């Protein structure tokens, strides 16, 4: 499994999850699977994130589970030990790229500028996270990259919502989008699994329509 195949599995939406309590990880993942999601990104922004990844992987082997906010080689190794299947970072560094290769983890680093894209390309990367999408220039900037970087495919995150995701997905160089609106923190805390399932299903069906 490589990062491009994972992004195609995630298409059109990769839910970005911030999990505060480890016992909520599995029911949250079950709600997303019920809504049609096939891949999720668990951000390493909370103390329980690594345990949440391990719990989801054990309970739902059919779901592709990756880690977001992987900003150090140490975290890359922790994700690999927890059973994470891919790693996402807000930016790119040579050290992170080397750690991903060492761990055998498909890697989706974040970029914004043309120079950052070229550096990633020099390291053999053709699938990149565009972050923070809306603040960095959004659809217009990504559209301008399509002809210059014809082989690069992006997963924009940051400011992606139900009302603007279709504009990104219409671009030829966008494989999928990532966002937290499907399972926001307040819904997770309230264990509102039914609403999360409905949001997931709506995101999947909206693009198909």
Q: What is the CATH number of the domain that holds 50?
A: 3.20.20.70
Chain segment 93-119, per-residue pLDDT in tens: 999 999 999 999 999 999 999 999 999
Q: Which of 189, 192, 155 is nearest to 174 (CA)?
A: 155
- Residue of 9, 62, 116, 129 marked catalytic: 129
User: Does any domain span residue 209?
Assistant: no
Strand partners, 107: 87
User: Does any domain span residue 99?
Assistant: yes
- Residue of 9, 41, 134, 202 marked catalytic: 41
Chain segment 22-62, per-residue pLDDT in tens: 999 999 999 999 999 999 999 999 999 999 999 999 999 99
pTM, 2 dp: 0.96
Structural domain boundaries, residue 47 = 3-204
pLDDT of residue 60: 98
Catalytic-residue membership of 20? no
Judge whether residue 208 has pLDDT over 90.
no
Q: Tell me the C-alpha distance between 66 and 106, whole Å.
A: 9
User: Does any domain span residue 66?
Assistant: yes
Query: What's the burial of 186, exposed, middle or buried (CB within 10 Å: 0-12/13-18/19+)?
Result: exposed
Count how many domains the chain has: 1
Q: Tell me the C-alpha distance between 12 and 206, whole Å.
A: 10
User: Does any domain span residue 169?
Assistant: yes
User: Does any domain span residue 14?
Assistant: yes
| 8 A C-beta contact, residue 133 and residue 168 | yes
Please report which confidence band the pLDDT of residue 205 belongs to, taking 50, 70 and 90 as the band edges: confident
Catalytic-residue membership of 81? no
Judge whether residue 209 has pLDDT over 90.
no
Torsion angle, alpha carbons of 139, 142, 148, 149, to 10: -140
Sign of the torsion formed by the C-alpha atoms of 9, 187, 48 and 99 = positive
């Amino acid at each position: 499994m490589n990062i491009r195949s994972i992004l195609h599995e995630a298409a059109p939406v990769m839910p970005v999850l911030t999990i505060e309590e480890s016992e909520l990880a599995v029911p949250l993942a079950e709600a997303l699977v019920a809504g049609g999601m096939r891949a999720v990104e668990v951000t390493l922004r909370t103390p329980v994130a690594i345990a949440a990844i391990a719990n989801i992987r054990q309970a739902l082997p059919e779901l592709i589970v990756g880690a977001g906010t992987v900003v150090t080689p140490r975290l890359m190794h922790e994700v690999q030990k927890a059973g994470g299947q891919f790693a996402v970072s807000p930016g790119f560094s040579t050290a992170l790229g080397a750690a991903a290769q060492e761990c055998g983890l498909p890697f989706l680093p974040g970029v914004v500028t043309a120079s950052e894209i070229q550096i990633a390309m020099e390291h053999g990367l053709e699938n990149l996270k565009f972050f923070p999408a809306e603040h960095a220039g959004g659809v217009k900037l990504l559209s301008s990259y399509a002809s210059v970087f014809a082989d690069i495919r992006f997963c924009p995150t940051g400011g992606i919502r139900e009302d603007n995701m279709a504009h990104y997905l219409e671009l030829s160089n966008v494989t999928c989008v990532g966002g937290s609106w499907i399972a926001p923190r307040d819904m997770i805390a309230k264990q509102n699994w039914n609403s999360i399932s409905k949001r997931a299903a709506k995101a999947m069906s909206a693009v198909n329509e």
